[in-house]
Structure 1
Amino acid sequence: MVSADYIQNVITSTLACEHIQVLGDDGTHFEAVIVSPEFSGRNRVQRHQLVYNALGDRMRAEIHALSMKTLSPEEWAQQQG
């Protein structure tokens, strides 16, 4: 069983993040908001692939479901008003 903090640390160790929040308390289902300059100019599928690559085999073995909202810093700034 993994924690939200563990997932957050794994993602940030591979992907440059300006903001990241991972929630989930059952050890297998998680939600994440990830803001990275690496998402700029990429579509949603490409962004999710970057996150899946950061997590590697953990997506198959340890994490049952990860719902993601992936934003570029510009998109994040717009949402924050």
Structure 2
Amino acid sequence: MTADHIRQKLEEDFKPELIEIIDHSAAHAGHAGNKGGGHFHVTLISTQFEGKSLVQRHQLVYQALGDMMKDEIHALGINALTPSENS
């Protein structure tokens, strides 16, 4: 299952205090441009985002998911926070 695969990769790379993955794929099935990947929104709270800009944080998440972005994931929303930003 793709959400489990996403969780595994993000947990390995970020050791997050919190990880939440919401699968919105069913609401987007068959829309124009979607050639099969799912729609997901992830929230990560990790110390690895300390000192990083929003763009850098998103780049780190995309790098962690690697090839999944080509086939398994069609759209990805990212909320990447540090522990202090979540308090």
TM-score range, shorter chain: 0.7 to 0.9
Aligned to 1:58: 68
- The answer (yes or no) to whether the contact 2:2–2:72 under 8 Å persists in 1 is no
Deviations 1:36-59 (A, max 9, x none): 101011110000111111101111
Aligned to 2:4: 5
Consecutive unaligned residues of structure 2, counting only runs of 5 or more, are 26-36
SS at match of 2:7: helix
Counterpart-to-counterpart distance in 2, 1:20 and 1:42: 18
Q: Which has the larger radius of gyration?
A: 2
SS at match of 1:64: strand
RMSD (CA atoms): 1.4
Between the aligned residues of both structures, percent identity stands at 42
Counterpart-to-counterpart distance in 1, 2:4 and 2:84: 25
Aligned to 1:39: 49
Q: What residue identity is the alignment partner of 1:46?
A: Q
Following superposition, which runs of at least 4 residues in structure 1 exceed 4 angstroms of deviation?
none
Counterpart-to-counterpart distance in 1, 2:49 and 2:77: 16
Q: What residue identity is the alignment partner of 2:67?
A: D
